[in-house]
Structure 1
Amino acid sequence: MIRLKSAIPIAFILALFVGMTSFLESNSRQQQTDSGQQRISRPRVDYNELFGVDSTYGYRYFDEMVPGGDTCRLLTRIYLPEGEGPWPVVVTRTPYVYTGPGDNLSIGREYAARGIGYIQQDCRGKGGSEGFYQPNIYERADGIALYKWIASQSWCESIGIFGSSYTALTGWLVADNIPDKVKGLYLIHYSVDRHVSLYSAGLFRQDILSGWTIDNAEEDIKKPERLPDQKPGEAYYEFYRHMPHIEADIDVLGARLSYYRDWITHTDHSDPYWNEGVWADLKNVPPKIKVPVTIVAGQFDHHEEGTILGYELLDPETKKRSRLILGSWNHSYQVTPTHVLTGNAGQFNSQSDQFRWFYALLVDNIVPAAEIRVYVIEEDRWINVDEWPIIADRKVKMHMTSEKNSDSDSYILSGREQISKDEIHYIYDPLDPVMAVGGETMFTSSANRGSQLQPPPGYRPDVVSFVSAPLKEDMAVAGKGTVTLNVSTDVDDTSFAFTLSEVTPDGATYNMRTAITTLAYRNAPLGTRQNYTSGEIVEINIESVPIIWNVKAGNSIRIDIKSSNFPEYSIHSNYAGIWSLQPKTRIANQTLYVGGGYNTSITFPVIDL
C-alpha cells in the first residue's frame, strides 16, 4: 500500500479559507484574453485573511530602468515597506504588461504593507522596457542582471523569486546563477523541457503553442478575427491547418516568425536546437538549484508533465526543503472535472500559499519542510505522499476485444484477453480530422479545456470505442496510463491516438486523458525518427501524462482509438517526414489487431487509498 502522510502543513490549512484566485494580476488578464473569455469583476479581496498577516506598514513606490544583459534598460516596478529596511523582497519578470509606469499593482502594495517588498520587471520589448520582444531568448541574461542589481541595493535584505507560466520560465532560467540573497523560488505551470511542452511523438501541440504565438507576436501580423458564430480559438484553425505549415506565418498572418518556424521544424528531442542556448539552459538548471523550491502543477494544465519534471530533476538535498503541489485544474486554475464533487479541489489558493511560504522563509527564517501533495479526483481530497513518481501498489490491465457491446456502438473492454485473433479497420482522412472534445493540453479553445462530456461511443466511423463492464470496486489510478496497440497501415507513416474516459451509470462519459503517437516515433517519443514499411504489423505503446483519479465502483472505463485529435495536436498528413513541411495529405487505412496473443490493452497504475 502507498504510504500516505497524514500531517497537513499549517500554511496549507490556512490557504483553504479562500477560493482560487488569479496568481498574478497581469498574467490573469493575459490568460483571460487568450481564452476569449470575458473579464469579470471579482469581489474585493480581504488580504489580511488571504495572507494571514495584518497590514501594518505604509508603502513607497518607485520605478527604475535597470540594465539588462546588454545595453537595453528594463522597466522595474518596486514596492517597499515604509521604513529604513533592509527588506525581504519577492520578484518576478513578465511579458504580460497592460499598464504604463506608475503605482498600479495592488498586489505590490499588499506585500509591502506586510513587510515584504514586491518587484515586477517588464521583459525586454514589453511595457516600458527597451528593445524588441523575442520570446525566451533574453530571459536568462536579463534575469541574472536584475537579481545582481537587486542584491546590490541597500534596501534589499533577501530575495524570493516567483512566477506562473511564462513568468515561471524567467525564474527557472536563472535559478542556477543567483546571488546568495536569493533564498527560495515559487514556480507554477511551466515545463523545464521545452520540447516536451511542444511535441508528442513528432506532432505539435497547436492549440497552445500556435495559439500563443498568434496572441503574443510582437511582429506586425494580421491576427485572425473571431466571427460571431465561432467559439473561442476557432478563428485560428485556418492558421493551424495551413499546408505546408512552415509557410503559415507569411501566408495567413502576413509576417515571418522565425522562432515559430524553429519550433515547428525541430521535431526530434535530441535535435541541437533543443540542446543549445536557452532551451539547454532550461533543462540543465533544476539539478543545480540549491535553494528551496515550491513547484505547482495542474493535472489539466498543458505544462503538467514538464512542470513535474522540474521537481523530479531537483538535487536530493534540495528536495528535502522543496514541495510539489499537484492539483486538478487547467492553466487558468479552472477546476476540472466538474461532473464529480470538487469542493476541496479549488481550496488551494496559490496567492495565499505563496505569500505564506515566502513570509515563513524570508521574514521568520523558517527552513521549509519537504512536501508532495496531490489532489485525488473523484475522491475530492488532498493526500500527502512520500515520493514522486508515486509507486503503484498494483497494475490493472484491460484488453480490447472485437466482441461488440449490446447496448452501444462499441467493443468490449475486458479483464481477459480474447482467445482468437481478429482485426478492426477504420479509415483516417486528414482532411476530416477528429475534433478534440476536452483534453489536458487544450488552451486557446478555452471552452474545450479539461474534462468534458464526450459524444456517444463510436460517434464517427474513424473512432473505435471500447467500453468495460461497470467496475466492481473503486480503482484509484495514480500515474501514467499506457495503451498498447498492435497496428498496421497502408502508408509510410501515420498517427494513433486515444481518449481514456470514465462512464457513469447513466451513460454520461467524461475524458480522463488523451495521448497520441506516430509510427515514426513509436515507443520512443523522445527518440529519433524511425522508418515504417507499409503493411507491417507493429506494437506501439502510447503513454499518458500522470493522472490521480479514483474511478468509483459502478462506473465503466471507455477507450476511444482514433488517428487525430485536432487542434490539441497537429494533423498527421499520412506522409513520412516533418509535419510542418508536408504540402498535402492522403487517406490511410488503419488496422487494429486484437486477441490471440496481440497485447492490445490499457494498463493502469493503481494505488490503495
Structure 2
Amino acid sequence: MQLVGKQRFITRRWFVPAIGLLLMVASGSWGFANEFVVQKDVMVPMRDGVRLATDIYRPATDGKALEQPLPVILSRLPYNKDGQASAAKYYATHGYVFVAQDTRGRYKSEGTWHMLSDDGPDGVDCAAWIGKQSWSDGKIGMIGTSYYGGTQHAMALAGAPELATVIPVDAMANMGRQSLRNGGAFELRFWNWIFLNAGRGSRAAKDAGTAETLKVMADQRLAYLEQLPTRRGMTPLRLSPEYEDWLVSAMEHGANDSFWSDVNIVDAPQEYKDIPVYLVSGWYDSWGGNTTANFMALQRAIKGPVYMIMGPWIHAQQTASSHGQVSFGKEAAIANQWAWRKEWYDHWLKGADNSVGKADPFQTPVRIFVMGTGDGSKDEKGRLQHGGYWRNENEWPLARTQYTDFYLQAGGVLAQEAPPAKESITQFQFDPADPVPTIGGNISSGDDILVQGGWNQKGGPHIWNFLKPIPISARKDVLVFQSAPLEHDLEVTGEIEVELFASSSAVDTDFTAKLVDVYPPSADWPGGFDLNIGDGIVRGRFRESLQEEVLMTPGETYEFTIKLYPTSNVFKKGHRIRVDISSSNFPRFDVNPNTGEPLNRQRMSKVADQTICHDSTRPSRIVLPVIPGT
C-alpha cells in the first residue's frame, strides 16, 4: 500500500479491470462509505450517436461499489473531466455518485465543439442515461463554475426530467446582454478564451504539429491583440475551424437576438425547469450582472426556491478573501467549497432537515457581502484593507433602496444638486489607436492580457499597455467627475446605471463609465487610493436597443444608458464618489474604430470628438441605489 495522506486519503490501490477501464479505490475519513471507486472514460452515446467521455465515481466499501441507488452530482465541462477528481472524491465519500463528463468535442469526447449550443440536448441525454443506471436513484444535482455553470443553466432550460437542483457559480448566461456582448461591445476575454482553448483539448490539438502551432499563436496573444480585428483564414486559428468560426461570428454579431439564444434566461425565464436554484457570484466577477439578472427573472418565473449569494470575489475565487490590490478580511471567503454545497444537495436530493432555510448561508433568499467597512490601512502583503461584512436580505434589489441621482457637472463636479440651466459641456478626443487601458474590474479568462478585481487606478508593470506608474485620471481622454468628501458613510447596494447625454463627430462610437471609491491620502497611502467598484460600456449604434443597430448623426445629442455591474459598497466618510467617463476600456472591450463599418470588419479608424452634456435640459448622471440607515 502507498501512503498518500494522513487525513483524506490513507491508501490507494490501482488495477485495470477486464473491461479495460481504470478502477481506483481510495480510503478516507469522511463517513458513509470511506472509499470510492471510479470508472474512467465510459463513452455515453448522445441522440445523434456522438459519444461523450464520462467518469463515474461511486461510494465503496472494501474496494467494492455500493449497490443501492444514490443521488448523482453531475459536472459537464470543457476543461478536462480529470480536473474534477477533488470534488468527485469528496462527494463519493459523502453518499453521492459523482459523474464528470467532457462536453462535446472537448478532450476525450467525440463530436465538434460549439459554444454551449449542444449542452441542452446533450445534458438531457446524459441525464436520461444516468437515470437508467442501477447506481442512480433518478435524482441529479449539478455542480460547476463559469462555462460549466452555463451547462447547468442549459440543462435546466432544456427541462431534463432527472434534474432536481443546480448550483451555478459565476455561470455563463444571457450572452448578448452583459457578458460576451456588453452594451453592444465585445468582451475580449472571450477572444482570449478562444485563442487559448483552440489548441487545448480541441479536435485540432490531437495533431501534435497543429497543437504546437496553436500554442505559438496563443503565446503571442498580445501581438495579435494589436492587429485586431481577427479575420477568417488570416491567422493560425484557421487550423481549429470551429473555434475560429465561433469567434469571428461572435465578434461580427452585435445584436442581442437569436444568435445569442443559448442559455438566455432573462428573456425566457419561464423555460427554466422549476427546481431549487442557488446562484453564486461576486461583485468583481464577469458574470455578476447576469447572476443578479437571473435571480430577478427566475424569482418571478419559478417557485424554486431561488437563492443567491454575492461576495466580494473575482471569478471562481469564492474561497479567497482578497484579489488585485485589495483585501476584504478573512470572513469574506467560503472556507470549504464542497461542504456548503453538500448541505444544499442533502436537503434537496436526500430530504435532509438541515440548515437550508434556517441558517447561513441559506437563512434568507439573498446573502450579500457589503464591502468597504475596513480601516483602509495596508495589510501584511501591502493590500488595501477595504473590508466588509456579510448580511442577509429577502430580495434583490433591496426593497428599501433609495435611487439617488448624482449629476455630472462643469469642472469635474459630481453632486446631488441639479445642474444649472445654462448650457454646459465637456469635450475630449477619442483616438482608437490609443485606447484607455483596463485596470482591473469584472473579468474572467483574463490570462496574461487582463488583471482581475480591485486595483488602484494607476499604471505600472502589471498593466502591459500602461506601464508607467501614473494615474489613469491623468489621461486627457478620461473625464473625472467626483463628489466633495462625504460627510457620512453612504452605502450603495444594487443595480447601477449612468444616464449620459452626449454627442460625437462619429457615426458610431463608444462611451464608457466607471464608478470609483476615492480614498483620501493617509500614512499607508500618501497618494490616496482610487478603487474601481464597477464599470460599463455602450456602443453608439446600440443606444436605442440591444436588438437593432442604428448609426448616429454626427453632432446630434443622444441619451445613452450605460449599465454598470451591480455592487454593494460603503463609501466611507471622507471618501469621494467618482465617475470616470471615456470611450474605451481596452482590452476589456474591443475598441470602436469610430467609422460605422460592419462590426469586426473595419479597415479604417478615425479620431472622434466627444461631447458630454451636463446642464438642466441634458442632465447626465449616475443613479446610485442608496441604502438608508446603515
Matched, 1:92 2:75: yes
TM-superposed CA distance for 1:581, in Å, is: 1.4
Matched, 1:58 2:47: no
SS at match of 1:554: coil
Q: Which residue of 2 aligns with 1:385?
A: 393
Question: Which consecutive residues of structure 1, in runs of 5 or more, have no partner in the other structure?
Answer: 1-45, 227-232, 404-410
Q: Which residue of 1 aligns with 2:295?
A: 311
Matched, 1:518 2:504: no
Determine which structure has greater relative contact order: mean sequence separation of CA pairs < 8 Å that are 6+ residues apart, divided by chain length.
Answer: 1
Q: Deviations over 1:359-389 (max 9, x none)?
A: 2322344495362111111141111111122
Residue type of the partner of 1:85? Q
Q: Which residue of 1 aligns with 2:112?
A: 132
Q: Which residue of 2 aligns with 1:375?
A: 369
Contact 2:324 2:440 in 1 (8 A): no
Q: Give me the whole-angstrom Cα distance separating, in 2, the residues matched to 1:190 and 1:94.
A: 12
Q: Which residue of 1 aligns with 2:307?
A: 323
Percent of pairs with identical residues: 26
TM-superposed CA distance for 1:279, in Å, is: 5.0
Matched, 1:603 2:623: yes
Question: Structure 1 residues 316, 601: closer, same or farther in 2, change over 3 A?
Answer: closer
- Range with bigger deviation, 563-572 or 512-521: 512-521
SS at match of 1:557: strand
Question: Structure 1 residues 586, 303: closer, same or farther in 2, change over 3 A?
Answer: same
Matched, 1:453 2:447: no
Q: Which residue of 2 aligns with 1:15?
A: none
Q: Deviations over 1:534-571 (max 9, x none)?
A: 11122323221211111111111122111110000100
- Range with bigger deviation, 514-523 or 387-396: 387-396
SS at match of 1:448: coil
TM-superposed CA distance for 1:224, in Å, is: 6.6
SS at match of 1:245: coil
Q: Give me the whole-angstrom Cα distance separating, in 1, the residues matched to 2:582 and 2:174.
A: 27
Aligned-residue RMSD, C-alpha: 2.8
Q: Give me the whole-angstrom Cα distance separating, in 1, the residues matched to 2:35 and 2:215.
A: 46
Q: Which residue of 2 aligns with 1:191?
A: 172
Contact 1:202 1:579 in 2 (8 A): no
Normalised to the residue count of structure 2, the TM-score between the two structures is: 0.79
Question: Structure 1 residues 176, 439: closer, same or farther in 2, change over 3 A?
Answer: closer
Contact 2:186 2:590 in 1 (8 A): yes
Question: Structure 1 residues 396, 347: closer, same or farther in 2, change over 3 A?
Answer: same
Contact 2:154 2:263 in 1 (8 A): no
Residue type of the partner of 1:240? L
Q: Give me the whole-angstrom Cα distance separating, in 1, the residues matched to 2:159 and 2:620.
A: 50
Residue type of the partner of 1:458? S
TM-superposed CA distance for 1:125, in Å, is: 2.6
Contact 2:365 2:395 in 1 (8 A): no
Which one of 588, 595, 605 corresponds to residue 585 of structure 1? 605
Contact 1:237 1:567 in 2 (8 A): no
Matched, 1:123 2:103: yes
Q: Which residue of 2 aligns with 1:26?
A: none
Question: Which consecutive residues of structure 2, in runs of 5 or more, have no partner in the other structure?
Answer: 1-26, 61-65, 205-209, 358-363, 374-387, 459-470, 522-527
Question: Structure 1 residues 569, 431: closer, same or farther in 2, change over 3 A?
Answer: same
TM-superposed CA distance for 1:287, in Å, is: 4.2
TM-superposed CA distance for 1:603, in Å, is: 1.9
SS at match of 1:194: coil
Q: Give me the whole-angstrom Cα distance separating, in 1, the residues matched to 2:618 and 2:161.
A: 58
Alignment of 1:272-287 (within 5 A): 272-275=258-261, 278=262, 284=268, 287=271
Q: Give me the whole-angstrom Cα distance separating, in 1, the residues matched to 2:489 and 2:219.
A: 38
Contact 1:191 1:309 in 2 (8 A): no
Q: Give me the whole-angstrom Cα distance separating, in 2, the residues matched to 1:280 and 1:481.
A: 22
Q: Which residue of 1 aligns with 2:131?
A: 151
TM-superposed CA distance for 1:205, in Å, is: 0.4
Q: Deviations over 1:139-158 (max 9, x none)?
A: 22221111101111121113
Q: Give me the whole-angstrom Cα distance separating, in 1, the residues matched to 2:326 and 2:171.
A: 27
Contact 2:410 2:425 in 1 (8 A): yes
Q: Which residue of 2 aligns with 1:204?
A: 186
Number of aligned residues: 538
Q: Which residue of 1 aligns with 2:56?
A: 78
- Range with bigger deviation, 120-129 or 259-268: 120-129
Normalised to the residue count of structure 1, the TM-score between the two structures is: 0.82
Q: Give me the whole-angstrom Cα distance separating, in 2, the residues matched to 1:478 and 1:521.
A: 27
Contact 2:28 2:34 in 1 (8 A): no
Q: Give me the whole-angstrom Cα distance separating, in 2, the residues matched to 1:475 and 1:588.
A: 37
Q: Deviations over 1:65-108 (max 9, x none)?
A: 211232122221111112221112211111111759xxx92432
Q: Give me the whole-angstrom Cα distance separating, in 2, the residues matched to 1:387 and 1:462.
A: 39
Q: Which residue of 1 aligns with 2:47?
A: 69
Q: Which residue of 1 aligns with 2:571?
A: 551
Q: Give me the whole-angstrom Cα distance separating, in 2, the residues matched to 1:289 and 1:503.
A: 44
Q: Which residue of 2 aligns with 1:214?
A: 195
